[in-house]
Amino acid sequence: MNHLPPNHSIIKFLFWNTRGLNARPKQLDVKNLLAKHNCNFIAVLETKIQLAQAQNIAHYILPNSSFHINPSGRIFILWNPDSLQIQITAESTQFCNCEITHPKYGSSMDITAVYASNDQADKSLLLGNLTDLKRSSGRHNWIVGVDFNEVRYANEKIGGCRPNLKQLHRFNNSLLACDLANIKSTGHTLSWSNKQDQRISSRLDRVLGNHHWISNYPNSYVHYLAEGISDHSPLLLHQAPVFATGPKPFKFFHMWTLYPDFLEMVAHDWAILIWGSPLFVLAQKLKRLKGVLKLWNLHSFGSVHRRLQETRQQLETSQASLHQDPSNASLIL
């Protein structure tokens, strides 16, 4: 049985598009950031380094670290082997997937670091890769730290050309199909800017989690740090598990009563004979009915909270699109 880590942020994950990592000042900035926030893991994106340089750079940034660089040299992952055990399970030129185990507690998770191409055909291929990863990682805690080079919502960009609304819909539908949702965040979330007089700012960087992660770590959050030497903000993910103090309380959903067979199912279960005192019979019937309803709810409706979250995301996408194009009748219906 896996044991979750203690109820505080025992692991911090850092994701940062540094726009190159060959220059010593950039390496020093990453080194100082890791030390300041006591991080055990970092995925550096758009590094432009060669494999031959990787070991020297890794050991300068994080002494005695383990590291991995993906085939394109765009994604450079460093971690403290005394704190984490990492196995690379899949990768391409645009992503690297890690299976991470905490040696002391045995808890495991998958982390995918992504640096997406600007080419839409390559991006479609990447989303297909994430769909494949969902099949293998979707049963576990899974997070994706990503520079998609694309916003999710129209209000995530200030200045420049307006986002393509149809493209936003396709993008968000793909993320929903992968069971990925934004992890709550703090700080200045417009993570990239062109740093020009004609200012353009966008939220190109984010951390996403599947429903297992969001359920098991509801207090985890991403803090957007100052961009420093890059034009992208570093993203600091705080893992903050919550321990259950006992069984989850039973919840009765009003929507059950609207289901055609609900009353018949309850009556059938309640009619089953139980012998004993009246209070004992009542307690046992309620206990058994609770289990029947839980199982029926799971098969009939699935995870209500997860479906609610997906519906809310779809609503937010539609509302953001409507603000940009209020006369579009197809968005109103």
CB 280 within 8 Å of CB 269: no
Region 25-36 average pLDDT: 92
Residues 149-198 have pLDDT tens digits of 999 998 899 999 999 888 888 898 899 888 899 999 998 899 999 888 88
Residue 259 and residue 232 share a domain? no
Please indicate, yes or no, if residue 308 is contained in any of the structural domains. Answer: no
- In tens, the pLDDT along 197-212 reads 888 999 999 999 998 8
Name the pairing type of β-strands 12-17 and 235-238.
antiparallel
* Contact between 201 and 157 (Cβ < 8 Å): yes
Task: List the one residue out of 18, 58, 56, 14 whose CA is nearest residue 36.
Answer: 14
Contact 207, 43 (CB under 8 A): no
233 neighbors 188 (Cβ within 8 angstroms): yes
| Whole-number pLDDT of residue 121 | 92
What is the rounded CA–CA span in Å between residue 233 and residue 203? 10
Q: 250 falls in which pLDDT band (50, 70, 90)?
A: confident
Residue 181 within a domain: yes
Classify residue 222: in a domain, yes or no: yes
Element (DSSP H or E) covering residue 209: strand 205-209
In a domain, 317, yes or no: no
Which DSSP symbol is given to 302?
-
Q: Are residues 221 and 258 in the same domain?
A: no
- The pLDDT of residue 316 is 62
User: Does 314 reside within a domain?
Assistant: no
3-class DSSP state of 205: strand
What are 108's strand-pairing partners?
A: 101
In contact, 27 and 56? CB cutoff 8 Å: no
Whether residue 42 has pLDDT greater than 60: yes
* Least confident segment among 121-130, 162-171, 190-199, 255-264: 255-264
